């Protein structure tokens, strides 16, 4: 306990219990004695008795929880199921007196009337509902759908007109338009669009209206809509910025109509009136338009030229803004590729490639300070992109090699290095079929500035080349560099296991677990145990578990150990004929049970309560799978209960109460008298619950039943 604030939680991992398991257990443990008996009605007398009893129950429930709409709905739905529609209406009206703003109540009421084919009643209800709750769109939608279903289009139109007076959301206006479109009243739909933009003059509404006019063949009307929208937004900067969608849609419409000059004029007018920093999407649309329908001169003189000016302004203000240099270089690379693939002359291609090289040379000239590695991370990618451009696009391999070498000379390796740069340089030499140079590069990297990523990259290269002896030597140097790295030991051992040298594998694992200190030793132990399990060496794996428990007797180790004893594993390779399928060696549930017992006693000795609970849960799951009902009951009896304990606080000297987990075996050892009293109390409480449930299921005699029936009849008459 700490300061009276409850037990300290050391293991916050969730218990291994699933929802499926809980539902399955609840279904399996259901007893037939506690289920409600089924009733059958044989004649009208029994039916009236049943109805009277149910009505009395419902009246009691709605009287106790008058504000619960759920109870009213159940009552009214039941009456409707008995074909007592007058009673159901009465109940719905009583419920509306309680909560007239309940949407679910109105919907259920109208649904009941529609199921009974009382259409006029449903209309009256919808009319009352939308009058009382005009801001609830769901009621309007239902009302309109009903009238349209009855082919009362005029009535549906009148309902929409009433709804539009409240200026609802865009979906309501769109639904009104769709209604007119379904019945080919396109002129009416155009008028609705005009009213819509008057209420909500947003760009998307103007665009929808123009698209509607275009689809029905009224091109002049569509242009008039766009022009009206642009006149509405005027020259105000804020409104013009909102009008980007209108400009773009207007230009796309002219493009679809093959009026390319009109579209180009619209784009130019928009770009001249909207600030460059706020018109990125419009610039992109214009670029796409010129690529599809323009010439090379128009394409080069519009968007790329303006973007070059923008990038030049940004890099002149801050040359260390590497993100701008990246964008600038990508722009020039894209222009180079377009010129190259369009069949330009060699002179034009050379000019474009020189422009890309110029950008990269200017960018790498801004070398960041040596102590700012976060800036170097961005800067070094400029060199990598530069080298890839020379290798892939221009095929100038000598220049690419020179770029890698220059980048390695600039990096301050005494302070930090970049494994990606070394590895990409080595991969470049491999692509040039110069394996020895690639090995020299990686060897120099490890000798100059050893790093985990360098070792991994070099080892991966040798394994791909099937040079396993070189990979072993590299793993040895890797482990010498960082003997506390558990992942290095695991990867080394797995390599030997793949080469079927199991003696070396075990030796590597043994050396690894003997290292001190060792980062994340648990993953190394787990890998060792999994290896022995996969090889079918159950005794070796059991020995490893025992050694691990001597070092750290954690609850997860005990649970894993016990489950290992219970689960089947493959047989040993010495006993396996590789011509046949490898069989499984069966587990031993009894050994697993003994392991759980040992773990429970060990955790109890350490006074770890939360860990004991986790172990008991895993133990119970094991017994449910392999054990008998008696064993399950034993484990269930060992589970703790939540109780209060009093103790004197050392700092204040006061008596305080804390909630604690009380284990039966602890209570039996420390306070046997209290434990016996607690057992007697639990037994008495269980007996009382059984007695009460038995009395509730007892059927009354016939004379008592007649009295109940008369009471229900009189109560029903009074209610009516």
**How confident is the model over 251-285, as pLDDT tens digits?**
888 888 888 888 888 887 777 777 665 676 777 77
Residue appearing with tokens 């500035």: 449
pLDDT at 365 over 50: yes
Asked whether residue 711 carries a pLDDT value surpassing 50, the answer given is: no
In eight-state DSSP terms, residue 84 is: -
Element (H, E) at 584: strand 584-585
Residue 364 has a pLDDT of 92
Q: How many CB atoms lie within 10 A of CB 397?
A: 13
* Banded pLDDT at 715 (limits 50, 70, 90): very low
Task: Mean pLDDT check: name the lowest of 239-243, 286-290, 342-346, 390-394.
Answer: 239-243
Mean pLDDT score, 659-677: 67
Q: Quick one: what percent of the chain has pLDDT higher than 90?
A: 19
Element (H, E) at 298: helix 296-301
pLDDT given at position 704: 42
Enumerate residues 6+ apart whose C-beta is below 8 A from 75.
58, 61, 62, 91
Per-residue pLDDT at 702:
47
What's the CA gap between 674 and 664, in Å, rounded? 11
Lowest mean pLDDT among 151-165, 431-445, 628-642: 628-642
Q: Residue 709: its pLDDT value, please?
A: 37
Is residue 258 domain-resident?
Answer: no
Q: Which of 202-211, 437-446, 649-658 has the lowest mean pLDDT?
A: 649-658
Neighbours of 492 (CB within 10 A): 24
662 within a domain of the structure (yes/no):
yes
pLDDT tens digits, 62-74: 888 888 888 888 8
pLDDT number for residue 1: 41
Residue 595 has pLDDT above 70, yes or no: yes
Q: Does residue 383 lie in a domain region?
A: no
pLDDT at residue 297 greater than cutoff 80: no
* pLDDT of res. 278: 66
What is the residue range of 649's domain? 642-680
pLDDT value, residue 707? 39
* Eight-class DSSP state of 581: P
Nearest to 478 by CA among 498, 450, 505: 450
Cα 622 to chain center, whole Å?
32
pLDDT in tens, 573-592: 666 666 567 777 788 888 98
Dihedral pair phi/psi, residue 585, rounded to 5°: -85, 130
User: In this predicted structure, what is the pLDDT of residue 585?
Assistant: 78
Q: What pLDDT score does 699 carry?
A: 45
Please indicate, yes or no, if residue 156 is contained in any of the structural domains: no
Grouping H, G, I as helix, E, B as strand and the rest as coil, residue 656 is strand
pLDDT single digits (tens) 305-356: 567 767 777 888 888 888 989 988 998 888 888 878 877 788 888 888 998 9
CB atoms within 10 A of CB 66: 13
Give pLDDT, residue 436: 92
Per-residue pLDDT, 431: 92
pLDDT at 680 over 60: yes
C-alpha to C-alpha distance for 319 and 321, rounded to whole angstroms:
5
Is 115 among the domain residues? Answer: no
Phi, psi of 414, rounded to the nearest 5 degrees: -70, -30
In this predicted model, which residue has the larger pLDDT, 712 or 315?
315
364 and 315 Cβ atoms separated by less than 8 Å: no
- Radius of gyration of the chain, Cα coordinates, nearest whole angstrom: 41
Q: Specify if 664 maps to a domain.
A: yes
List all residues 6 or more positions away from 612 whose beta carbon is below 8 Å from its beta carbon: 555, 600, 603, 604, 640, 663
Please count the structural domains in the chain.
Answer: 1
Q: Is 659 within a domain?
A: yes
The 10s digit of each residue's pLDDT in 441-488 is 999 999 888 889 999 999 999 999 899 999 999 999 999 999 998 999
Q: 659 — phi, psi (to 5°)?
A: -80, 130
Average pLDDT over residues 637-666: 75
Q: Helices marked H in 38-152 — which ranges?
A: 44-64, 69-81, 85-98, 103-115, 119-132, 137-149
Arithmetic mean of pLDDT over the chain: 82
Indicate whether 73 belongs to any domain.
Answer: no
Residue 710: is its pLDDT beyond 50? no
């Amino acid at each position: 306990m700490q300061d009276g604030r409850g037990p300290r939680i050391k293991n916050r991992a969730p218990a291994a219990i699933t929802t499926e398991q809980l539902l399955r257990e609840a279904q399996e443990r259901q007893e037939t004695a506690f289920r409600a008996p089924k009733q059958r009605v044989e004649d009208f007398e029994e039916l009236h008795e049943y109805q009277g009893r149910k009505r009395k129950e419902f009246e009691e429930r709605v009287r106790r929880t008058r504000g619960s709409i759920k109870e009213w709905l159940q009552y009214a739905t039941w009456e409707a199921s008995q074909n007592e529609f007058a009673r159901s209406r009465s109940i719905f009206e009583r419920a509306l007196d309680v909560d007239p703003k309940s949407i679910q109540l109105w919907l259920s009421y109208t649904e009941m009337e529609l199921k009974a084919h009382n259409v006029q009643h449903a209309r009256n209800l919808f009319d009352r509902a939308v009058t009382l709750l005009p801001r609830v769109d769901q009621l309007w939608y239902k009302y309109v759908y009903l009238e349209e279903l009855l082919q009362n289009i005029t009535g549906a139109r009148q309902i929409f007109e009433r709804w539009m007076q409240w200026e609802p959301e865009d979906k309501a206006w769109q639904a009104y338009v769709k209604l007119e479109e379904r019945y080919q009243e396109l002129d009416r739909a155009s008028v609705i669009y005009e009213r819509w933009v008057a209420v909500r003059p947003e760009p998307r509404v103007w665009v929808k209206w123009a698209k509607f006019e275009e689809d029905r063949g009224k091109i002049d009307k569509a242009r008039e809509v766009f022009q009206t929208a642009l006149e509405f937004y005027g020259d105000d900067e804020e409104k013009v910025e909102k009008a980007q969608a209108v400009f773009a849609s207007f230009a796309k419409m002219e493009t679809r109509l093959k009026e390319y000059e009109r579209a180009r004029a619209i784009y130019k007018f928009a770009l001249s009136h909207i600030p460059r920093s706020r018109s990125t999407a419009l610039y992109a649309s214009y670029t796409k338009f010129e690529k599809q329908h323009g010439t090379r001169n128009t394409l080069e003189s519009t968007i790329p030229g303006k973007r070059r000016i923008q990038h030049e302004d940004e890099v002149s203000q801050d040359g260390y803004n590497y993100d701008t240099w990246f964008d600038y270089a990508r722009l020039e690379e894209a222009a180079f590729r377009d010129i190259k693939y369009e069949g330009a002359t060699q002179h034009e291609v050379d000019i474009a490639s020189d422009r890309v090289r110029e950008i990269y040379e200017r960018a790498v000239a801004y070398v960041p300070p040596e102590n700012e590695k976060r800036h170097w991370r961005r800067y070094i990618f400029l060199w990598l992109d530069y080298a890839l451009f020379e290798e892939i696009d221009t095929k100038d391999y000598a220049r690419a090699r020179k770029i890698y070498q220059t980048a390695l000379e600039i990096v301050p390796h005494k302070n930090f290095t970049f494994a990606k740069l070394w590895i990409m340089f080595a991969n470049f030499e491999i692509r040039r079929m110069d394996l020895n140079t690639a090995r020299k590069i990686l060897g120099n990297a490890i000798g100059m500035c050893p790093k985990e990523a360098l070792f991994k990259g070099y080892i991966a290269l040798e394994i791909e080349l099937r040079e396993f002896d070189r990979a072993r030597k590299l793993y040895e140097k890797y482990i010498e560099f960082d003997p506390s790295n558990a992942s290095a030991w695991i990867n080394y051992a797995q390599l030997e296991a793949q080469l079927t040298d199991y003696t070396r594998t075990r030796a590597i694992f043994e050396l690894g677990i003997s290292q001190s200190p060792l980062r994340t030793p648990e993953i190394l132990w787990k890998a060792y145990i999994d290896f022995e399990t996969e090889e079918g060496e159950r005794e070796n794996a059991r020995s490893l578990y025992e050694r691990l428990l001597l070092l750290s007797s954690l609850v997860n180790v005990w649970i894993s150990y016990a489950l290992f004893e219970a689960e089947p594993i493959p047989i040993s390779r010495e006993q396996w004929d590789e011509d046949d399928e490898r069989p499984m060696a069966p587990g031993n549930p009894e050994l697993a049970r003994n392991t759980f017992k040992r773990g429970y006693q060990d955790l109890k000795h350490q006074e770890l309560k939360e860990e004991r609970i986790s172990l008991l849960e895993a133990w119970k799951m094991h017994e449910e799978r392999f054990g008998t009902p008696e064993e399950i009951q034993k484990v269930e009896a060992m589970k703790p209960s939540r109780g209060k304990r009093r103790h004197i606080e050392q700092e204040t000297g006061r008596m305080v109460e804390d909630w604690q987990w009380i284990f039966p075996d602890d209570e039996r050892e420390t306070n046997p008298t209290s434990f016996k009293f607690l057992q007697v109390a639990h037994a008495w409480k269980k007996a009382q619950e059984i007695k009460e449930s038995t009395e509730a299921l007892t059927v009354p005699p016939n004379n008592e039943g007649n009295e109940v029936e008369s009471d229900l009849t009189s109560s029903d008459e009074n209610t009516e």
